[in-house]
Amino acid sequence: MRILSVVGARPQFVKLAPVAAALAEAGHEHVIVHTGQHYDPELSEVFFTGLGIAPPDERLAAGSGGHGAQTGAMLTALDPVLSRHAPDWVLVYGDTNSTIAGALSAVKLHLPLAHLEAGLRSGNRRMPEEHNRVLTDHAADLLLAPTPQAVLNLEREGLADRTVLVGDVMVDACLHAREQALARTEPEPPAPGIDPSQPYLLATIHRAENTDDPERLGEILTVLAALPVPVALLAHPRLRARAAEYGLELAQGAIRPGAPQPYAQLIAAVTGSAGVVTDSGGLQKEAYLLGRPCTTVRSETEWPETLTGGWNTLIQAGDPRFAETVLRPQPVTARGEPFGDGHAAARVVKELERAAR
């Protein structure tokens, strides 16, 4: 079989790694198409080298822009590439603009489409990721769901006959990286000015709803700066750009800004931390898998399983309980395996083989 993966943004490279390894092991041909949505080396290249993924076979140059312009640029560039490779499956990942572009291109070219991480729902129709998820699920021929909750969501939308539960490939990636992190003797500082042998918190903020509103971003930074523990703030380029635009200082009080980290270093940094503050979907789950309390700066999550036992707590910027939520004691409730057992990628390959036309 020839499988063509469309990826473009940081979390998709993480999901691609175990899938690429499983496809190679099963002897399938795998074409990797990088849309160019993320182009800075720290958001793109380091994931390919760090996770041992072969360089992309095709590099498009979609770059940044408004949703329509960015998605449109990808579509224009994807059509001839997908036609030329004529794969047995086009595989799209997660919920970014690269996902919906890959999905639309495949459907219009009558190529079989599989969606990895299908069925997630935040219920928030203002999130670009929610549009991307829902539309991709309804376009796809095969829905690879990571959790029983995702399966339920798809059943509710009448998509049961195309859905299979495979588990979450992020678990495969995370557990693999944790082994590497544990094997390392000297922990590295996750950001300049952080002593990894002392307690610290790990923070990332990159979602438009938080970064693109000066008042909200200011409130988040004020709370983080006043915490009694140092905060390693791994700053996405969007956060840096918006903070500079609004005249907000990242390096204030307890905050120690640093660069986004390659995946293995990120997993080591979560493992070494006392807790996580984030608006990322993936990091909520990584904190859960690694047993670190997470505070998510959003009003909803598409990973509700992480909320069990207080391991993850949602809080809005400006809520007076923000600091006390971040500083709550470590939960004691057992976490279980709601995201699968770390062998999801092998199941993905089996399902692609089974459902091939």
- Annotated catalytic residues are 206
Binding piece for ligand UD1, criterion CB under 6 A, among 90-98, 141-149, 167-175, 251-259: 90-98
Nearest-angstrom CA–CA distance, 353 and 29: 12
Binding piece for ligand UD1, criterion CB under 6 A, among 39-47, 141-149, 180-188, 338-346: 39-47
Using CB under 6 A as the binding rule, whether residue 297 contacts ligand UD1 is answered as no
The answer to whether 115 touches 140, Cβ cutoff 8 Å, is yes
DSSP labels for 166-188? ---HHHHHHHHHHHHHHH-SSPP
- Single residue of 5, 35, 96, 136 touching ligand UD1 by CB under 6 A: 96
Closer residue to ligand UD1 (CB): 237 or 262: 237
Q: Which of residues 178-237 bind ligand UD1 (CB under 6 A)?
A: 206, 237
- Single residue of 5, 37, 210, 273 touching ligand UD1 by CB under 6 A: 37
Kindly compute the dihedral angle of the four CA atoms of residues 354, 86, 23, 18, in this order, to the nearest 10 degrees: -110
User: Distance between alpha carbon 325 and the CA centroid of its chain, in Å?
Assistant: 23
Using CB under 6 A as the binding rule, whether residue 238 contacts ligand UD1 is answered as yes
Half-sphere exposure of 90 toward its Cβ, with a 13 Å CA cutoff?
A: 32
Write down the least CB distance from residue 206 to ligand UD1, Å.
Answer: 5
The residue type found at 95 is D
Binding piece for ligand UD1, criterion CB under 6 A, among 36-44, 107-115, 245-253, 313-321: 36-44
Q: Are strands 2-7 and 89-93 parallel, antiparallel or unpaired?
A: parallel
Using CB under 6 A as the binding rule, whether residue 56 contacts ligand UD1 is answered as no
Using CB under 6 A as the binding rule, whether residue 128 contacts ligand UD1 is answered as yes
Using CB under 6 A as the binding rule, whether residue 101 contacts ligand UD1 is answered as no
> Which pair of tokens denotes residue 130?
């929610």
Give strand pairing partners of 258.
234
Q: Are strands 142-145 and 2-7 parallel, antiparallel or unpaired?
A: unpaired
- Single residue of 26, 39, 59, 259 touching ligand UD1 by CB under 6 A: 39
Using CB under 6 A as the binding rule, whether residue 262 contacts ligand UD1 is answered as no
Nearest-angstrom CA–CA distance, 221 and 354: 49
Q: Which residues bind ligand UD1 (CB under 6 A)?
A: 9-11, 37-40, 43, 64, 95-97, 128-129, 206, 237-238, 241
